[in-house]
Amino acid sequence: MTQIHPSAIVHASAEIGENVAIGPFCVIEENTKVGDGCQLNSFVSIKQGTRLGANNKVHEHAVIGGPPQHLRAGADLGDVIIGTGNVIREFTTIHRGLAPGKNTVIGDNNLLMVQAHVGHDTIIGNNTIITNNVMLGGHVVIEDRAYVSGAVAVHQFCRVGRNAMVGGQAHVVQDVAPYVTVDGCSSLVVGLNIIGLKRSGFTPEQLAELKRAYRIIFRSNLTNREALERVRREFPMSPAVHFADFLAESERGFIQARSRGRGVDVSRPQLRVLSNEKETTSDTSRRAG
């Protein structure tokens, strides 16, 4: 049976499912949907254009469906679409898409910790962990089972690949490849996310293939195009092929690996840019062909 606290304000047109609990001083605006089994603790705001699937738990003072923090945001906006089984902790903010038909989307079974911010048009997959004070700019993509640690800032239009681990306070200004760990201090790749991969059920054979693919991409002298073609050729039926699929679509380039020695080897460029037909070196970006 649905329970709505007397102090909550629920718009008459809001769609409220079965067995929903809405706590004190919540505000549920018009043009919203709260799915079966959801639990909204006190002072939760569900704003226009929000669709909550079943069995989500939203904690105190979270605001879902706020307008984008963008100078071009007008009256007509996209929606916030949230799947099932998510936990959204205190003071989290999730903003609507910037334009009609352009939505902010969160999948299933994600954990968004205290004061996480999900910017407009961001897409989050399934089974991710977005920890305290993470800031996701607009148009960010977070793939399945990624882990984004505390106080990480992800620049707009950047992507974090599946099963990646981003260390605390990292500055993510380019794509994070799947399966890797990004060090929070240097904001550079420091290897595979071995612990996370094992917890996700990757077999020893799959881990060995990922290690070989990692060396091809991050430790060889091949160009980006050559490295990705080699990964596709050598691992066509392996999870390692997602390295190539993901990085080939990179628009901002992807974060490179830290030097094997202590600190970063500043004697050589850390990141490379791939233009249409020729590759040049740069200290600031790398693109995949």
d(CA 256, CA 250) in angstroms, rounded, equals 13
120 labelled catalytic? yes
d(CA 20, CA 284) in angstroms, rounded, equals 49
| 128 residue type, one letter | T
Kindly name the residue from 59, 95, 117, 120 that is annotated as catalytic: 120
Kindly name the residue from 23, 37, 138, 167 that is annotated as catalytic: 138
* Tokens coding 173: 């200004």
Which of 105, 254, 104, 232 lies closest to 178, judged by CA? 254
Which of 265, 256, 228 lies closest to 244, judged by CA? 228
Question: Which H or E run contains 127?
Answer: none
Are 117 and 134 a contacting pair, CB within 8 Å? yes
Secondary structure of residue 128 in the 3-state scheme:
coil
121 labelled catalytic? yes
* Tokens coding 4: 């709505």
Kindly name the residue from 79, 108, 121, 144 that is annotated as catalytic: 121
Q: Which residues are catalytic?
A: 120-121, 138
